[in-house]
Amino acid sequence: MTDPTPSGLTPTGLTGPTPTGPDPYGVTADGFVLKGIDRIIADQQARARAMFGSDVDLGSGSALRKVLDAAAVHVHELWRALENQYYANFATTAQGAALDLLGTDLGLDRRFLQATGEVTLTVAGADPNRGVVLPQGTVLETATAPTTSLRTTAGVTLVTGAPAITVGVRAAAGGPAGNLAAGQALQLEPHWAAVHLNLGPATVTVANPAPITGGELLEPDDAYRARLLGVPRTLWTQDAVLARLLDVPGVRDAAIFDPLGGVDTSRNAFGSFLFGRQDFTAGRRTGSPYFFDVVVAVEPGWPWQQGDGDLPAVYDGVLEVVRQWRPVSIFPNVKPADQVDVGLRATLVSLPGHDPDAIKGALLTDVQAAVELLNLGRGVLYSDVVLTARSVPGVVDVQNLRLRRGAPGFGEVGFGGAVFGSAEELSVGANLTLAADEIAGFDLDSPLIDLQVVSR
């Protein structure tokens, strides 16, 4: 009574619009066009009239109508399955298991997430008048084997005799191994603490009253899809190397400065250079080694060189990846990026009844989250900070906002534009610009932050 094959399809596959039908369904130049259930029912009723006569009873109570409606639901589900199958062939539209199959073809598997949770920190034996500062990225580990490393997600200040402070933590490596049951014996990673902290006689006690979970989960489709779309199809390009560098544990961002790999439009002579009369850059001599620079921004807590902690050194990981992908006689100069501390000074006008401390905390947390998403060379825009402040509940106005720039954390790299050894406060409305080898950082306890909240 009904054709199980939808109009526009054949038993062997999709054929696009039917030659005799006025409406295009199936695979078309614009993608897959789904036939709606109303159209399916109309087509089935038209075929029923052609087969049994125009006077056939197709009322809502007839047996033939009920059979046709039940078959229409089945045919519509078939159309939906065909639509899903069609879009499962493209990384931009595939989902779930279909996206995993596309990743397998590209040799890029879906990542495990890093387990997250909270720990409590207390300090004993320190000077009561002196706070012990544990910066963001402080490395913790389990006291017993097998060792699982964690990093704090925010900085804290501990005082002897004060209540325990709760701080978020994230496993250093993704996967189920980062999950920890409640009540695990935790401690500061001794090697990292000896290099980066000055505790003296003070001792820090770490506890996790709740389990640390989430390492068994896989990254969501949108994150996995973005990585698949960014997979380069060539062996040696800047994009090909960067795709591998960003997978190295501890790398926040990276950039490659290749003087002979392409035209450098940032040079002063670019706009007025006579290309037909002289060379724009010096060519590579045949048989001579060629060096390019790799600038790496490191996540808080990760050691740059081996010996700064028990976590794998970022420098060694980056160097190993580049060596595997570089051509013969091409050598990298791997250098750390200059981290520039970002601060701000402003007066926030709030509605009556709002807690000033809550407003400050919400603004600083939002600004920190936004700054952590910035890449190398990406500055902090004045307008973005204003919009962030205006989005805090209770804030009605932002006055006298000035961005502040701290001195860079390193002084080893200088491709131009960096400011070393001093901090500066910008004028109202000015953006905080960064050089190509600098990356912005924002500390909630930075002395560069000066916020005042006044009630309207």
Q: What is the CATH number of domain 232-278+289-336?
A: 3.30.300
| Helical packing angle, 382-390 and 356-372, nearest 10° | 140
Look up residue 100 and give its two tokens. Answer: 């995993």
Annotate 370-392 with b (16+ C-beta within 10 A) or e (fewer): bbbebebbbbbebeebeebbeeb
**Per-residue pLDDT at 333:** 86
| Dist. CA 241–CA 146, nearest whole Å | 33
In single-letter form, the type of residue at position 22 comes to P
> Distances in Å between the alpha carbon of 181 and those of 23, 166, 208?
59, 17, 8
Run of H or E including 317: helix 314-325
* Residue located via tokens 């640390």: 212
| Dist. CA 145–CA 423, nearest whole Å | 44
| Dist. CA 232–CA 350, nearest whole Å | 49
| Dist. CA 456–CA 448, nearest whole Å | 26
| Dist. CA 253–CA 258, nearest whole Å | 17
pTM of the model: 0.66
**Per-residue pLDDT at 6:** 44
Domain made up of 116-207: CATH architecture? Beta Barrel (2.40)
Please enumerate in sequence order all residues whose Cβ is within 8 A of that of 192, keeping only pairs 6 or more positions apart, or say none.
138, 139, 301, 303, 308, 309, 310, 311
pLDDT-flagged residues of the chain (< 70): 1-23, 233-236, 259-289, 327-329, 408-422
439: how many CB neighbours lie within 10 A of its CB?
Answer: 27
Q: Residues 320, 321, 324, 328: is their CA dihedral positive or negative?
A: negative
Quick: pLDDT tens for 222-278: 999 988 887 776 666 777 788 888 889 999 999 888 765 544 445 555 556 555 555
**Per-residue pLDDT at 263:** 46
Question: 149, 171 in Cβ contact below 8 A?
Answer: yes
Question: 315, 305 in Cβ contact below 8 A?
Answer: yes
In single-letter form, the type of residue at position 142 comes to T
Tell me the domain boundaries of the chain.
9-87, 116-207, 232-278+289-336, 338-455
DSSP 79-128: HHHHHHHHHTTSTTT--HHHHHHHHHHHT-PPPBPPPEEEEEEEEESS-T
**Per-residue pLDDT at 409:** 54
